[in-house]
Structure 1
Amino acid sequence: MTTLFISDLHLTPTRSDITECFVTFMRTEAIKAEALYVLGDLFEFWVGDDDKTPFADQIRSEFKALTDTGVSVFFIQGNRDFLLGKRFCKETGVTLLDDVCKIELYGQNAVILHGDTLCIDDVKYQEFRKTVHKPWLQWLFNRIPWFIKKRIVSKVQSDIRDDKQMKSLDIMDVNQKEVEHVLSTNNVNLMIHGHTHRPDIHNFVIDGEQKTRIVLGDWYTQGSVLTVNPSGFDLQIRPFGKSLH
């Protein structure tokens, strides 16, 4: 029995190396797992479930093929794919989870999330997040023709890149007090998230209890996979270049 976690793949048609690593992972590893959790930012940016480009269809087909085998797949929206919704899930068999979700992993409870909500020191980003997550705004955006949405998204992405260049790395990292708050609120000792692109396993103590925060890595230069089984967990890498061909 094994449960897998991935995040921050930032899949895009311009990075075939990432896509190949993802496809290999799905067909050789995920297919053997009990469950797969995708903790956001699967895509560089998901414009909407009405994206019918060949690339989007390819990714959908990989998930559909996996869920058809009986593997449970769960998805938490990230800051790059917060527009991924019910239609994508219906077409792929993926289950969409809340932004912060408590799960049970082989006898141990854990809280999972993308991780951007932990970065509360980045006030400007949190304001942006609050705006784009307004239901009425998403409802309106989803009814705009796809090619117009793509133009809007391109402009937003450019603004975000410019904004990130002006921020310190510490501001864009998690706030430890917020981490502790989420752990305490959910009454768990284990947290798993992505977003920060700083893969690591952090151990610390709160009120005499050992806590663990596992940060998944991005897929810019190699794959990053967290494997969890009854014996424990292991944060691993997957080198690019090992395709199915």
Structure 2
Amino acid sequence: TLTLGGRTVLLEHGDLLCSDDRGYQRLRRVLRCRLLQWLYYRLPRALRLRIAEKLRAQSKTRTRRKAARITDTNPAAIRAALQNARASILIHGHTHRPAVHRLDNGDTVYVLGDWRPHGEILRYA
């Protein structure tokens, strides 16, 4: 969290907010396994890059097949994250569906776009 203009801002990657996407959540747990990471980083860099590209392509294919409501954020997860952080603003990515959402309680959620290929940003002024 950080404070901007007197308001507490929660910065999140966003993948944990997509709690309805059970397949992704399972994959995330596997990829976060320290032993698997240790083994992965012992592979040659070129092989690691090929593995990453293949996983990214498979992820895009699977995401296209899933219903949008499953791959989007869960409203209850957003409310819980804001409440737990005592924040009134949430900034997250992961879904790559840029938007600004005003919640009923006055909180604001900013969803960042994909940084490739356009390099979209959120500017605070």
- TM-score under structure 1 normalisation? 0.47
Give the residue type in structure 1 aligned to 2:61: D
Larger Rg: 1
Cα offset, 1:180, TM superposition: 0.2
Cα offset, 1:227, TM superposition: 1.4
Q: What is the rounded CA distance, in whole Å, between the counterparts of 1:223 and 1:142 in structure 2?
A: 28
Q: Whose strand fraction is larger, Structure 1's or Structure 2's?
A: 1
Structure 2 residue 104 is the aligned partner of structure 1 residue 188: no
Q: Where does residue 45 of structure 2 map in the other structure? A: 146
Q: Which runs of 5+ in 2 are unaligned?
A: none
SS in 2 for 1:155: helix
Identity fraction in percent: 34
Q: 1:103 to 1:145 in 2, by over 3 A?
A: same
For 1:148-187, list aligned pairs within 5 A. Answer: 148-187=47-86
* Cα distance per residue 1:67-103 (max 9 Å; x no partner): xxxxxxxxxxxxxxxxxxxxxxxxxxxxxxxxxxx11
Cα offset, 1:110, TM superposition: 0.8
* Cα distance per residue 1:156-215 (max 9 Å; x no partner): 22322331232111111100000000001111111011121221111113xxx4211111
Q: Which runs of 5+ in 1 are unaligned?
A: 1-101, 230-245
Q: Whose helix fraction is larger, Structure 1's or Structure 2's?
A: 2
Equivalences, count: 125
Q: Where does residue 212 of structure 1 map in the other structure? A: 108
Q: Where does residue 12 of structure 2 map in the other structure? A: 113
Q: What is the rounded CA distance, in whole Å, between the counterparts of 2:57 and 2:122 in structure 1?
A: 31
Instruction: Work out which structure has the larger RCO, using CA pairs closer than 8 Å and 6 or more positions apart in sequence.
Output: 2
Q: Where does residue 122 of structure 2 map in the other structure? A: 226
Q: What is the rounded CA distance, in whole Å, between the counterparts of 1:222 and 1:155 in structure 2?
A: 22
